[in-house]
Amino acid sequence: MLSRTNLPRLRWRWLAPLALLLLPRGGALGSEEEGPAVPADPPARWWKGNLHTHSFWSDGNDFPEMIVDWYRQRGYHFLALSDHNVLSQGPRWMDRAEIDRRSGGRAFDRYVARFGRSWVETRTVDGTDQVRLRPLSEYRALVEQADRFLLIQGEEITDRFERKPIHMNASNLAELVPPQGGSSVVEVIENNLKAVQEQAERLGIPIVTHLNHPNFGYGVTAEELAEAVRERFFEVYNGHPGVNHQGDTRHAPIERMWDIANTLRIAGFQAAPLFGLGTDDSHNYFGTEGSSPGRGWIMVRSRHLTPERLIDAIQAGDFYASSGVTLREVRYDEAAGALELEVEPEEGASYRIDFIGTLNGAGTASEPVLDDEGTPIDATRRYSDEIGKVLASAEGTSARYELTGDELYVRAVVTSSLPPENPSFAGQKAQAWTQPVGWSKWVEAANPAAGVGGEGGR
């Protein structure tokens, strides 16, 4: 029987957990002096993030919490862990021997040192030591902060056509999307896009899907990028050293593919162009060997750091890609027909700003690429230098390009005299890529229903 003197103590034991649940994230009640975590009507600003990251949940070599912590501590505002054909959901245990093999024996002890024995969960099954991989629903509470850092659930939908790898990242998923397959490269892309769109519409959530590293395994040509008009996003820069960013003697580099695909889209299909992302595609987290983090990212302009607002901005093209150059400002005045940008300079660096585009009437005639026997190979065809040519250049940290009205599109690329902090190929210089502008009139003339998103309340 309970005594009267025990009742207050028991009542507190029951009420204390409830009180903790009612506290705001951060563990302490706010005060008027502290102010709200997110102010009312904040101004639009740039948010830094990476949408292509791998962990022990697929073929990465570190624990997801460690990876997330790396990005958070280095000034990123959002991150998607996008493991191959899996979401970090549900129970998952990994053999300690496999953890040590992948990480060279470095991951487990570092994990324990960072998060402690109270967090790291282990077990032994039939003599085999295992470590629990915690799902996103558990570890996100350790790192997310309002207006500072956000995690977005992602998946690399890892598909193929015949021997060609076709990988697509979907960001802000709620459910796994299995690879859909198809009877051609374009159909594989289209089928996976339709599966993601079905989930977005059924659940009422925005999801952005982009095509990964088209030159990986030389799986996707510029012509296929152009034909898959439902896809609006692709990786203009991927930091993995094995994705053939520069192409080779028979395969076009990624930037050249971007210009060819966008010219074909606008001039041939009267379709909107591709927007370009920068990503890490990180797998390796011990030093700079392999596909290490911090090589590629996007800067998204939005008022709020939420998945919905970030995706709104990405879909409107209000972002740029970077491998090391930071832009203070990017402005496109559609009424004036002017694209302006300003660089946030790095000490000791000089900058070249190139405005690149294709003029109406440039022509899209092409020739196949031949092998040593003179037989055409399955590669991006050869096009005139009038496609994706430099329309104007400037040295310095700011530049303005006034469109004449003849451009199918114009984009800017800023190249630093310095290499990025963690290069992915020899001779690399830090760069930033803005999105193509000036194209909407050509698309709307052929398809009046096609509209261009505005900033709205982002």
Q: Is residue 458 part of a domain?
A: no
Which structural domain range is residue 191 located in? 44-88+140-335+420-446
Residues 124 and 272 in one domain: no
- Cβ atoms 212, 170 nearer than 8 A: no
Residues 115 and 79 in one domain: no
Q: Is residue 222 part of a domain?
A: yes
Looking at residue 9, its pLDDT comes to 39
Residue ranges for the chain with pLDDT beneath 70: 1-35, 446, 448-458
**CATH code for position 182:** 3.20.20.140
Give the other-Cβ count within 10 Å of 39's Cβ.
9
Residues 116 and 145 in one domain: no
Q: The tokens of 191 are what?
A: 């089928």
- Boundary residue ending a domain (110, 132, 154): 132
- Boundary residue ending a domain (78, 107, 132): 132
Q: Is residue 214 part of a domain?
A: yes
C-alpha–C-alpha distance, residues 390 and 359, integer Å: 11
Phi, psi (deg, nearest 5) at residue 367: -130, 150
- Cβ atoms 397, 351 nearer than 8 A: yes
Task: Give per-residue burial for 371-382: e unless 16+ CB within 10 Å, then b.
Answer: eeeeeeeebbbe
Nearest CA to 317 out of 413, 227, 452 is that of: 452
Q: Is residue 238 part of a domain?
A: yes
What is the domain count for the chain?
2
CA 247 to chain centroid, in Å, comes to: 21
Residues 121 and 148 in one domain: no
Listing from the earlier edge strand, what are the strands of the sheet with 398-402? Answer: 326-333, 338-344, 398-402
Residues 171 and 266 in one domain: yes
Looking at residue 39, its pLDDT comes to 87
- Cβ atoms 247, 253 nearer than 8 A: yes
Q: Is residue 408 part of a domain?
A: no
Residues 200 and 104 in one domain: no
C-alpha–C-alpha distance, residues 319 and 433, integer Å: 9
Residues 171 and 238 in one domain: yes
- Boundary residue ending a domain (80, 103, 132): 132
Q: Is residue 99 part of a domain?
A: yes
- Going by their DSSP bridges, the two strands 389-395 and 233-238 should be labelled as unpaired
Q: Is residue 19 part of a domain?
A: no
Give the other-Cβ count within 10 Å of 365's Cβ.
9
- Cβ atoms 62, 56 nearer than 8 A: yes
Residues 109 and 196 in one domain: no
Length of the chain in terms of residues written = 458
Residues 188 and 302 in one domain: yes
C-alpha–C-alpha distance, residues 447 and 458, integer Å: 26
Q: Is residue 98 part of a domain?
A: yes
Q: Which residue has the tokens 């889209």?
A: 265
Q: The tokens of 85 are what?
A: 């054909």
Residues 179 and 298 in one domain: yes
Looking at residue 17, its pLDDT comes to 40
